[in-house]
Structure formats: C-alpha cells, structure tokens
Amino acid sequence: MLKISFCTVCMNRLQHLKETLQANIEANQDYANLEFVLLDYNSTDGVEDYIRNHMSYYIKSGKLVYYKTTSHLYFNRSHSRNVAFRLATGDVLCNIDADNFTGIGFAAYVNEAFSKANDIFLSVFNNNLLNKSDVLGRICVRKADFYKVTGYDERMVNYGFEDYDLVNRLELYGLTKTPITGNPGFFNVIEHERNTRLENEYLTNKLNDVLISYLSPSSSEVLLLLTDNTYKRGVVIDNKSLRLAGAVIDEAQQEYQYSILGDEWAQGLWSGDSEHIDLYSTSDTVQTLFYETAGGYYTLSDMPKKLFYQVSSHDLIEQVIMFCSQVTNRIYMWKNKLNKTYAVNSVFGNDTVYKNLNFNNPIYTHQI
C-alpha cells in the first residue's frame, strides 16, 4: 500500500474548505496510509481559526497536517503548490484544489493505478467525457517524478496553464499521461464566479487603470497601469479574425482565440494624473498620454491619432485581468513545450512555514 498525500493550498477560501476538507477526509477513510496536507497561504478570512476549532481531531489523529505561511500578500499557484508538495511525505502526491471533492474511495483508486505501473501520472486531461474546468488541477504524480521535473514552473505567478504545463513536462520526462476515470464523484466541484479565482492575485489588487486603443478589426492595444507605478502594455490579437482574413497563425497560438503580439508584454514605469500620463520604457524612452476632455480619451504625444479609452466596465476589467494572467503563463508553457524542457526551476517550493498551529518553531522548506 503506497503512502498518498492529498495536497490542498488555499488563500482566503474558507467557504470552500468548510464544504470539502472534512468531506474528503471522511470519503477516504477506507485508505489508512493517507495524509491530507493543507497549506494556508496567509489567509485572512479565518482559515486558521476554523482549523483550530473544527479540525483539531484530524490533526491529532495524523490524518490532517496543517501548515501556514505568513510570507505572502498575494496568491501564487505554482509556488504554493510546490511548497505543499515539498511538505508532503507520501510516495504519491495529488493536488486537490480547495473547491474540489475527491469522491468516495479516490485514494484507493490512486493506489491501484500507481501499483500497476511505475511510469505514469494521473490527470483529467485525457478524460474526454469530462467538461469541468475547475477540476483540471487534479494531478497525481510520484514524488520522485515531481522532483525530477522540478515542480510547477514558478515563473508562472498568475492564474492559468500551470497545470497544463506540468502535464506537458511530465510527458516530456517520459511518463505516460493516464486519465482519471470511474466514479463521477471524483469530479464534483463547488462552482463559483470568475472573480473568486482572481481576487487574491497580485494584478487584481494592484491594478489602477486599464486603457484600450482600437487598432484594427483583429487587434487592440491594452495598457495596464498598476498602483506600484509599473505598467504592462501589449497588442492583443484576435487569431480567429486573422485566420478568417487568410493570415498564417503561429503554431503556439493556433488553438486560442486571443494572443499577445510577439508573445511579450512591454513593461516600464509610469507617473501622471488625470490630465496626462508619462510612460517610461526600459529603453529610457518616454511617451506621454494627454487627456482630451471633449472626446473623453487619451492621445499619445508622438501618435496623436492613436486614441486610448479608459475601461470602466468591471466585467471587462476582469476579462482583461484573466487574459493577462493566462496569456503570460501560456507563453511560458509553450516555450517549455517547444524547447522540450521538463526541468524549469533551479530551486522550487522554498518558504518558511509553521506546522499544526505551532508558531514557535518555523520550518524552512529548503531544508526538507
């Protein structure tokens, strides 16, 4: 019987943990050699108190191991999962997102799969019958193999594609992607809105303004101004429109409707007020946006016909954040895939954590 670790990371997902954590423990009571590793990524919504007041029995029994880090203000999926996987002691590690139910007997299912084959990992990506994006993070892998590919790519600090990338790199390493099938209960999730995925992201919390300039039927320029006085700027391409116009689409973008021109964001510093915005690029050039009160738009000092409009729609701003997060991670994923790179981090999962509500003895994960 293999030792299995179900790893869950959360930042301010108490409402989900209340529904899933105990339910998942009880759903797998038939498998003795199982631990639940919960990493609290500096939540401020009462996760710690909930664990102390309602889950102490499972901690004392050894079934649940609770870790907390206080190092982070914003959520980082790749890093947080790497930390949890480093802390886990199982032969097989499984990512179980906080909004996921494992279903009855999932641990036994995982044990059976890995007992039959050494060169596999489990994911939902080959399950053609499944149509639930919230369960795509369900990946189970031997700990030794996870270390060989150096975990999740920690350059991916935003939302999206970190799980796709891990799946690609495990295959590049030589493992066989094996679909999780069987009990429909394995795939039950708590459905929630898009803002729940993004509310703890750096970009969501630091975004000051979004400006958009229409360029053509297939492209628009997006300018994101952050409260730390940095900016990101790029041309968003509608690949579907280009394809209809007969353009040749780069291989890395063919399956996606939208991409960023050149696979790269321009970045720099900005300053200004309601009347003008100065953009300082990394090449020491400066462009100024002037606000035209009569038209309700900004014009560029060196390109007066290029108009930037301020985005006021909350829904559109969320879409921009989601796109920016996903496309940035997607670029890393495709570069790893095209370069056939399976080991991407020189170090991974480094942090300082506290175990089982004991905040007197810090644990340094790089020493594990």
Check whether residue 178 and residue 212 sit in a common domain. no
Check whether residue 21 and residue 65 sit in a common domain. yes
Check whether residue 235 and residue 213 sit in a common domain. yes
- For residue 293, the tally of other CB atoms under 10 A from its CB is 8
CATH number at residue 215: 2.40.128
Domain-located, residue 178:
yes
Domain-located, residue 92:
yes
Residue 123 identity: S
Check whether residue 226 and residue 270 sit in a common domain. yes
Q: How far is CA 207 from CA 158, 210, 328, in A?
A: 14, 8, 16
Distance CA(227)–CA(316), nearest Å, equals: 19
Q: Is the pLDDT of residue 40 over 80?
A: yes
Q: Is the pLDDT of residue 355 over 90?
A: yes
Check whether residue 238 and residue 269 sit in a common domain. yes
Domain-located, residue 322:
no
The residue among 182 and 140 whose pLDDT is bigger is 140
Check whether residue 227 and residue 160 sit in a common domain. no
Q: How far is CA 6 from CA 19, 106, 257, in A?
A: 16, 10, 35
DSSP label at 125?
A: T
Nearest to 232 by CA among 121, 325, 365: 325
pTM tops 0.75: yes
Considering the chain, what is the average pLDDT of its residues? Answer: 93
- For residue 117, the tally of other CB atoms under 10 A from its CB is 11
Per-residue confidence band for 133, with pLDDT thresholds at 50, 70 and 90: low
Distance CA(16)–CA(226), nearest Å, equals: 30
Check whether residue 284 and residue 354 sit in a common domain. no
Average pLDDT estimate for 101-130: 91
Per-residue confidence band for 303, with pLDDT thresholds at 50, 70 and 90: confident
Per-residue confidence band for 262, with pLDDT thresholds at 50, 70 and 90: confident
Domain-located, residue 317:
no
Per-residue confidence band for 88, with pLDDT thresholds at 50, 70 and 90: very high
Nearest to 309 by CA among 296, 290, 324: 296
Check whether residue 97 and residue 159 sit in a common domain. yes
Per-residue confidence band for 250, with pLDDT thresholds at 50, 70 and 90: low
Q: Which domain holds residue 283?
A: 202-312
Domain-located, residue 333:
no
Check whether residue 249 and residue 349 sit in a common domain. no
CATH number at residue 103: 3.90.550.10
pLDDT digits (tens, 9 = 90+) for 141-159: 999 999 999 999 999 998 9
Nearest to 327 by CA among 240, 246, 235, 191: 235
Name every residue whose Cβ is closer than 8 Å to that of residue 333 and which is 6 or more positions away in sequence. 153, 156, 161, 164, 165, 168
Per-residue confidence band for 241, with pLDDT thresholds at 50, 70 and 90: confident
Q: Is the pLDDT of residue 343 over 80?
A: yes
Per-residue confidence band for 193, with pLDDT thresholds at 50, 70 and 90: confident
Residue 68 identity: K
Using an 8 Å Cβ cutoff, are 252 and 338 in contact?
A: yes
Check whether residue 230 and residue 285 sit in a common domain. yes
Domain-located, residue 327:
no
For the chain, what is the domain count?
Answer: 2
pLDDT of residue 6: 98
Domain-located, residue 108:
yes
Domain-located, residue 197:
no
The DSSP secondary structure of 163-226, one letter per residue, reads HHHHHHHHHHHTPEEEE--S-GGGG-B----HHHHHTTSHHHHHEEEEEEEEEETTEEEEEEEE
Check whether residue 163 and residue 256 sit in a common domain. no
Using an 8 Å Cβ cutoff, are 166 and 149 in contact?
A: yes
* Residue where one domain finishes, among candidates 266, 290, 312: 312
Nearest to 55 by CA among 77, 24, 34, 82: 24
- For residue 273, the tally of other CB atoms under 10 A from its CB is 7
Q: Is the pLDDT of residue 126 over 80?
A: no
* Residue where one domain finishes, among candidates 269, 294, 312: 312
Check whether residue 40 and residue 85 sit in a common domain. yes
Strands ordered across the beta sheet of 358-364: 176-179, 120-123, 139-142, 92-95, 4-10, 34-41, 64-69, 352-355, 358-364
